[in-house]
Structure 1
Amino acid sequence: MITPAADNPNRLKNEAAPSPVGLKNVPATQQAISLQLQGEVPKWVNGIMYRSGAGRYNILLDNGDTHHISHPFDGLAMLHRFEINGETQTVKYSSRHTSHGVERRIGERDPTLLTFGPDPCKTIFGRMQTVYHHISRFGSNAKLQENDPEFDMVNVTITPNFPLGERLEAETGIPRGQALVIKRDANTLQVVDNTTLEPIKMFTYGHISDKLQGQLCASHHQYDEETDEYVNFMVKLGPFPSFQLFILGPYLPNPSQPPPEPRLCEPIWRHLGAWKTMQPLKPAYIHSFSLTKNYIIIPNFPYYYSFGGLSAIYYSCAYQTFYWDETRPTLFQVVDRHTGRHIATYDADPCFAFHSANAWDEEIKLPGGGTEHVIYMDYCTYENTDIVDASFELGKLSSGDIDLAQVAPAKFVIKKHTRDKKNHAIAPSQVRRYRLGHVPSPSSSKRWTPDAWSFGLEYNKRRVASYSVLGYDLELPRFNPRYNLRPYRYLWGVCESRHAPSYASGAVVNGLIKLDLNRPYEGKNTDEKSSAKIWDEPGSSCSEPIFVPNPEGTAEDDGVILSTVNTIDQDKQESHYLLILDAATMAELGRTTLGTFHATTIHGSFVDIHGKGVAVN
């Protein structure tokens, strides 16, 4: 969207015109400032919280026009850094915009920019030109990205201690185990300085190993602290997508030993075809997946890339590329973590999820003396993909009493899939615990074992995943990282605010919630019988909570919750602050205001005073 210079009320100030959909630019604070703390921080909380998100939506062009970004996911990248010291009761804050190369490309009208939200101004002829430019500029764009650390926009998850590999360690000068990397759902990553947040290098997984090739990967990797292994996968798009699983590690430094050589598990290309359903696997949107001690489980929700993903270069956006097919099941592809072999596929009801929570596998004794290998995995699940439409309104909070006329989509925004539904009805998320029963044991999936023939027969059996609902209305899930890959009890996340209309009304306004998964409840979280504990204030909207465990704690919920909050008071004054809660009671311990602005951050991570990630997403 473009606002002509003549229609810009701020043109005399040399400022961008205000957004027609209510998204505002966020000021950067590159020099760290000390913040005034209200309340207190537990003395044991010492480290740095990083958050990634969007910071610029309205770009002033050289000719005076203003380019407007309409979808919150497409806001130009911004990083935030909070240095928290419980011993001295101090909090220091800094932030930085990290997509100046994208801003330059917008000014140059680069037709190869890919976004999440649609461009309603692009004609069919313009889309055909875009296809041509994507093909003709592929090589030149790769060279530009190699030399410009801000060439593309990467602002989803933020990963400390990332395993860069020898090539990038030598090129960037970053010691092993100290890289701070930003990721997204495409094979484009960005390493930044862990103090100044300045972008250093844009790269792909192919820079780590030339064996790792593909267009897509998960923003949320999985990590096994016990083995010090980083797990993810690559997807090659096309009519028959290929999945390439890989494990990196160990990389964290050990002062008593020389630096270990980086290890890359042998990546194996596999077409994870669903033999048991006799349906070919289609490329689907995968934001996160599950890991256990013995298995990697990749979900395949029926939210597909049309034309094998090739339509992305026609539309130049993801939203118009995806389509929901309620006639097809969700598939869970199970891969033996030790051999890389695809050993089973499980059918489930059609559904959708952005985020997985925890997962584990165990061997259960059966009556009569037998055993059954079972995988349990938790997801924040929706009955369809209408929640993607709700994402258009993320960060458009206007007041405690929201004026829906202000947050409703602008008239020229492309028709959304929920528009024909009554009140844009969107069901809340369900915390589902999936059970995958009779999983082939890791030993039975090894090559050339005596029971290889019987395993082949077992592989072709149709398997069905069952699930139970443990809670409702929880998204952006976080749990105590000490319980990763094993049974756990508590889950924290965001929930709909009680002081604002629901997501179905077109506003995304969040409170914070803690659920006791051992006490499932089918009613509302606000009911007296519910075990849920909620922090929620009028006019406030919270970002993903980060659980930081007490180093000396023994209880699973002994820790703090860190979140950032956008709020607006009765005088319509905006502010943004860091919130610190007692994780067990969800009672407020302290807060500190960053400034009179709103900033939308989705994910974050926390590292201790030694630079080791203790709460990573």
Structure 2
Amino acid sequence: MSTTETVDTAVHFNNWPNDQGFDTNREQRSPVELTVIGTIPSYAAGTLYRTGPGRYKVDTEHGNTFQISHWFDGFSQTHRFQLVPPGDAGSGMRVLYNSRFSTDDRIEYVRKTGSLGKTFSFGGVGYRDPCKDLYHKVQSTYEPPEGSPSFSNAGVTLSINMPGVKDNSQETDGAGAGSHIKTLHAKTDNFSYKQIHPETLEPIGVANQTTLHPDLGGRLSASHARSDPQTGDMYNYNLTFAPTPTYRVFCVSAATGETTILAVFQGIPAYLHSFFLTKDYVIICVWNSHLDPSGFARGSYMAALKEFDDSIPSTWYIVDRRQNHGQGLVATYECPAFFCFHTINAWQETSPDGAEKIDIVAECMSLKNTDVMKKLSYDFLLSSSTVPGARPAPETKDNGGNGQTRITRFRLPSVPKSASVPFSGDDSGKRAAGVAILESTSCSTLSPELPTLNPAYLTLPHRYTYAVVDRGYSTFFDGIMKFDSMTNETLIWSKHAQSPGEAIFVPDPNGLAEDDGVLLTVVLDGMSGNSYLLVLGAKDLKEVGRACVDGPVAFGFHGCHVSNTGRIRADF
């Protein structure tokens, strides 16, 4: 049954409605077949998962409505698109869709108590109920099930067949006989992760990094773990605050499930959503989203986030990840202050300083400060918001939206192949820092985010970067971009009132060029209130097909695609 409804465009910024994508109180627990328009290439067959906030409002038992304030704290929901290859010549790709909230106990707790209680959040408590006393008795007696996976709000990134973790599924094969998808885990910017059934999307377990290694007890980590595109080994960091802020960079072997701590060093504690990986190195850049650990006592990341200080340089830590080298931290670099959510790629090049050194080239989406963290509240994202300053000013059109993100390339020159000080298990990183060179910035007028590329080029030099863009035409993303780093040219897909999410690159297995493939992105049609899975040619960003959902699909953060051939793309 269609949920299409008439939208009053007069109340939405630039007649570009997007509210439906931020508060989708809708699940599709049983897979339904979608109407497919156009031709989706057969090599895209597989499973596309998406995760992120599904809703931010809950009607309580006392007649009030509880509202989350920050987008990062919305109640997590997982989506699954099955792209089923043609059964015979002449038939087209079939697409099935199902979705499920992974936070039922969390939502029920809010419904009964009118609050999130002492739950840690990103943006802090949003709506404060003026009738809080009415809930006091309920808050003191109603507790969510201890260790409930559906109370955990982990849901920023997803990992397929994550190494080293226990499978909580009652089945030996979580997605059915013959499936390449054994386990599905949701991650967030702390040390916890949640297992989700890969077919039903039911949350079935929750754990943390201490199950990987007892020394990984720090509460903070990156949502974007990185995995070796060849071996599948997974890398991340773990940050502890006491007695001294300390980073532990670790690797989980895909072959054995064993975890090795590669380096331990002290550094300024910071909110680091992602990091870099090359063929031989893990690179942790402590950019200037610095944290005051005492602020966490107030229950949120934002309470701990310090004011941006451009007098303090960003620091890069280079960790050797080669097997049997055990060198740990091999070099540090510094550059002027900046902030970043998402890294893009990194690779190694020959150094002009001799065979014993290499250069590392690292690309990311950089910002000049951390102001965007506050702009990601629902007050600023909803197209119907009337909060002062929420709507982009007219002069921002074609000059970037509020984010002002840019593609930035750094060079870390003359990284020593052999560490000057052998790894001893506790490296303070106090060697003299080199200088990280800012080589280029691009696309600042497009304010791109959520970058992706052909996964075959991870840890290798790549030419094309794809991203959503925010040009100020809406209060959210307003297009998809392809950037050519060789020519500095960009292509853009954009349609009025169509709000896209992160694009996922699916390579053409018979292709020879870097941009042979398609992009998969979930788009909200703000006029109809319905979403669709859009398939764009990666060469020209022209639509080749779409699968239409009979209702809105919530704007997610990130996703992953698993090919029917069994090729599972690296985490990045």
- TM over 0.5, shorter chain: yes
Structure 2 letter corresponding to 1:342: L
Per-residue CA shift, 1:425-473, capped at 9, x if unaligned?
Answer: 846212111100111214655469xxxxxx99x9732311012225213
Is 2:311 the partner of 1:317?
no
Counterpart for residue 603 of structure 1: 558
Q: Are residues 596 and 438 of structure 1, via their aligned partners in 2, closer, same or farther at CA, if it must alter by over 3 Å?
A: same
Where 1:153 maps in the other structure, the secondary structure is: coil
2:364 to 379, 392, 396: 379
Displacement of 1:224 after TM fit?
Answer: 0.7
Is 2:156 the partner of 1:169?
no
Contact 1:574 1:598 in 2 (8 A): no
Say how many residue pairs are matched: 520
Q: Give the structure-2-normalised TM-score.
A: 0.83
Contact 1:331 1:348 in 2 (8 A): yes
Where 1:439 maps in the other structure, the secondary structure is: strand
Q: Are residues 352 and 394 of structure 1, via their aligned partners in 2, closer, same or farther at CA, if it must alter by over 3 Å?
A: farther
2:469 to 479, 490, 495: 495
2:103 to 75, 94, 99: 99
Contact 2:164 2:258 in 1 (8 A): no
Residue ranges of structure 1 left out of the alignment (5+ in a row): 1-18, 131-135, 252-260, 273-280, 399-405, 449-454, 502-506, 521-530
1:225 to 200, 222, 229: 229
Contact 1:72 1:395 in 2 (8 A): no
Displacement of 1:478 after TM fit?
Answer: 0.4
Counterpart for residue 14 of structure 2: none
Q: Are residues 341 and 394 of structure 1, via their aligned partners in 2, closer, same or farther at CA, if it must alter by over 3 Å?
A: farther
Where 1:104 maps in the other structure, the secondary structure is: helix
What CA distance in whole angstroms lies between the structure 1 residues aligned with 2:23 and 2:254?
42
Q: Which has the higher helix share?
A: 1
Displacement of 1:164 after TM fit?
Answer: 3.9
Is 2:26 the partner of 1:41?
no
Alignment of 1:87-486 (within 5 A): 87=86, 88-106=92-110, 107-108=112-113, 109-119=115-125, 144-146=145-147, 148-165=148-165, 168-169=166-167, 173-174=171-172, 178-238=182-242, 240-251=244-255, 261-266=256-261, 268=263, 270-272=264-266, 281-306=267-292, 309-314=293-298, 316-323=299-306, 324-338=308-322, 339=326, 341-366=328-353, 372-393=357-378, 396-398=381-383, 406-409=384-387, 426=402, 428-442=404-418, 446=422, 460-472=431-443, 473-486=447-460
Structure 2 letter corresponding to 1:82: F
What CA distance in whole angstroms lies between the structure 2 residues aligned with 1:21 and 1:392?
16
What CA distance in whole angstroms lies between the structure 1 residues aligned with 2:518 and 2:94?
16
Where 1:384 maps in the other structure, the secondary structure is: coil
What CA distance in whole angstroms lies between the structure 2 residues aligned with 1:395 and 1:32?
34
Displacement of 1:178 after TM fit?
Answer: 1.7
Q: Give the structure-1-normalised TM-score.
A: 0.77
Contact 2:408 2:440 in 1 (8 A): yes
What CA distance in whole angstroms lies between the structure 2 residues aligned with 1:519 and 1:224?
29
Residue ranges of structure 2 left out of the alignment (5+ in a row): 1-17, 87-91, 175-180, 394-398
Is 2:494 the partner of 1:536?
yes
Indicate the percent of aligned positions where both proteins have the same amino acid: 28
Contact 2:331 2:419 in 1 (8 A): no
Structure 1 letter corresponding to 2:556: T
What CA distance in whole angstroms lies between the structure 2 residues aligned with 1:22 and 1:96?
15
Counterpart for residue 7 of structure 2: none
Displacement of 1:227 after TM fit?
Answer: 2.8
What CA distance in whole angstroms lies between the structure 2 residues aligned with 1:394 and 1:434?
34
What CA distance in whole angstroms lies between the structure 2 residues aligned with 1:59 and 1:397?
17
Contact 1:543 1:602 in 2 (8 A): yes
Structure 2 letter corresponding to 1:469: S
RMSD of aligned alpha carbons: 3.4
